[in-house]
Amino acid sequence: MRQLILKAAAVAALGLGLAAPQPVLAQAKSFDLQSVFGLQVPSIGPSPVKWAERVALMTNNEVKIKVHGAGEFVPPFEVFGAVSNGSIPMGFDWVGYWAGKIPVANLVGSMPFGPNPELFLGWMFQGGGLEIIQKAYDPHNVKIIPCHLVVPEAGGWFNKEIKSVDDLKGLNMRIAGLGAKAMAKLGANVQLVPAGEIFVSLERGRIEAAEFSAPQLDLGLGLQKIAKHYYFPGWHQPASWDTIIVNMNVWKALPEKHQKAMIEACYANITFNTFDQINAQIDAIEKIEAAGVKIQRFPDAVLAALQKASTEVMEEEAKNDALFAEAYKSLTAYTKRVGRWGDLQALPRSK
């Protein structure tokens, strides 16, 4: 009898063990992301790939993101629309490409004669910038996550020397954002050419000048093989943002811990890309110079004319769009107030 009781108890215990709740393994979520850039473009090309790796690490591989280069699903300038309508769950962009739909994106993409990267970073996350921009993206069903802070760009590549404002008149130039509108005010013929087509356009004479980005990226495009005048400063883009964009339905379906991981991964991305870019620029400049390119600054009179035209452009944009006006006022005030810290700390340059 005792053996029967023990046997029955063992069976019962086994049954209870089988019925006990087992740990549930999280099912991995997989998403596609298309960049507006080729993945081979220095710095910005690998940026979304590194972000996806960080997201996987922070979520213990519960979120996996497959990054695709420009054109793999849709043409580069159609990425925003595809994310908005859900054709693609995620994208990586230069925010200014969507200025036709979202005017304030132009200001965030590049504010001519605007804040340096340090101030732009502070405004974005501590000065109310992101909240203003998200309001503009909400009607398009898109979540925006600033994810790559671009260091100051070069002023551009030119087939001829720029000695005065008159040299800009009639010039066929690839330039984006508000800077393009300022150049147009001074008589240039401006057009927006995707990154992958700039080299060919300049080589075949469709354009006579082009700006793209910082020296590191410009070198990667091979523009030093064509144009022989490389100008500074990057008046049109002292700092700018590349971002992760997510279809809002996809974003809201994610658990909060995964949303936080994506945001934190962008913070890490910004940190890495900032020091990586700063370290790379002088190497690129030296290689460009070694290729026989003349590196020089725009004449002061040209910069003064560009600044005047840029201010006119931004004031006109502010009159036409309430969110642009809100961001312009906010960013200008932030730069003036918080920028005082940098002014007070500025040291004289040694000669």
Q: Which residues are annotated as a binding site?
A: 153, 174, 211-212, 237
State the Cα–Cα distance between residues 61 and 55, nearest whole angstrom.
8
Q: Which residues are annotated as a binding site for substrate?
A: 153, 174, 211, 237
Q: Which amino acid is at 155?
A: G
State the Cα–Cα distance between residues 281 and 284, nearest whole angstrom.
5
**CB within 8 A of 312, min separation 6: which ones?**
182, 185
Closest by Cα among 84, 58, 65, 30 to 258: 58
Contact in structure between 148 and 273 (CB atoms under 8 Å): yes
State the Cα–Cα distance between residues 200 and 177, nearest whole angstrom.
21
Q: Which residues are annotated as a binding site for Na(+)?
A: 212
State the Cα–Cα distance between residues 114 and 278, nearest whole angstrom.
19
State the Cα–Cα distance between residues 273 and 204, nearest whole angstrom.
33
Question: Tokens in use for 100?
Answer: 């036709």
